[in-house]
Chain A
């Protein structure tokens, strides 16, 4: 089985978000970038397929040269090879078209992406990619097993779970549950040394359509101070929620 894991290079979850250039760009100043958490769960599941079922695992990122440390981290975790499509990921549809080209050229059986990236939260790349390639697709995937060409997945639905049966080639939008938080791997020195020797192939983008464009960003409005209720007078909270906030 040949697996492609799609990774986004995103601000660390603890990042404070600021905008620059007249609020038209995300301010990367002082921001630490990481593998998108939803993608990292998928990458870790891919490592399981590599170790237990002999799968080959490649990772791909659509981004400029500045994303290479994040790609190297994926190699240090254990991916065999990496591809970087040398283009800014201007929107989800554009990225899906770039990835479709990579998948076509690499003849992958299973494409693992995250449910969404935690920066732009588009949540559209895996589904668009599957549709462009006429592959099967399961979103919000929290469990995945593959036997031969048959895949069994569980997806999270609102208020429950759904068990799904499908076949390869398959694209999933994964999230926590594919593996547990405690299964995530911190690259060790040997992994980091080996990652330096692994192939990181840079390919140029294909002509693709952009369908959306972010024009301006805003930060949430500043909030007023909290209204404190004395712990000995809990009834006042009920009163405030009913009469002032009008939410009960």
Chain B
């Protein structure tokens, strides 16, 4: 009996919240929780009030530096903490028509960084075409967020390291820990070994080597209801362990805080950690992280072309508060004159040394 329940839970975890018809697949339900009693009863301050205390409300953009494009929610993995609720069952994929609209923007943007994410961006059937076209625009830093295991998932992906190299793509990959059990617990059985093999394949073509221009950075997300520690110290530990155990080199480690939304929110509630986690985030609030939080220099584009202040707002369906809301109407000047949409999940990016897709900010 007990075994069958365990099996059921394990199998359920291999599907997205959406496929499981979990109530948290509804973004309104998530917002209800984030605006719930813990904040409404005054136990903890609303994010808006917290940043108002330091004169930082309304939050306004600085100069646009990063254009982040989510090319689809399909993924070969179903990570427990995923804020995208990505997985093999997600069918939301950017069409070539929307990619054309993105390319038009990429050719004219003032941003110095283009950041492709997903899901597993490589699973979009037009991914390679899009990378080839986008790389012609001559953007200074062209990032692809790769989950590593995709490189080994199917024969058609085995040449991705060479493909990335050809287009001078900056590879940013998730790696929750340098030990097998912590990695597999968060990301699924076998993910650690596959990630190691993929990193070795990337090293082999020159990625991540000490003097190489082929940038390979790792992303660390805590595998549980706690905040990331010091980014430099973690980078030091990761470098030492991956080098000694697997002869792997990489450039930098970005420590990213898990935000209380989507599957991580589901985990926090199910494990009875939500309240403590929100307390930890609020207690670690750092006003100097607010000034550099990533929504102040980033625009996030969804698979269907809508514009958001960040990838997290995208997953909560909180579109930009601007006349320009879609990539087809894109206008950087108009967009830059907006107020950033905030809620209690934003405490995730302002805790401690701050958190962004590029790691700490303070």
Chain B associates with chain A: no
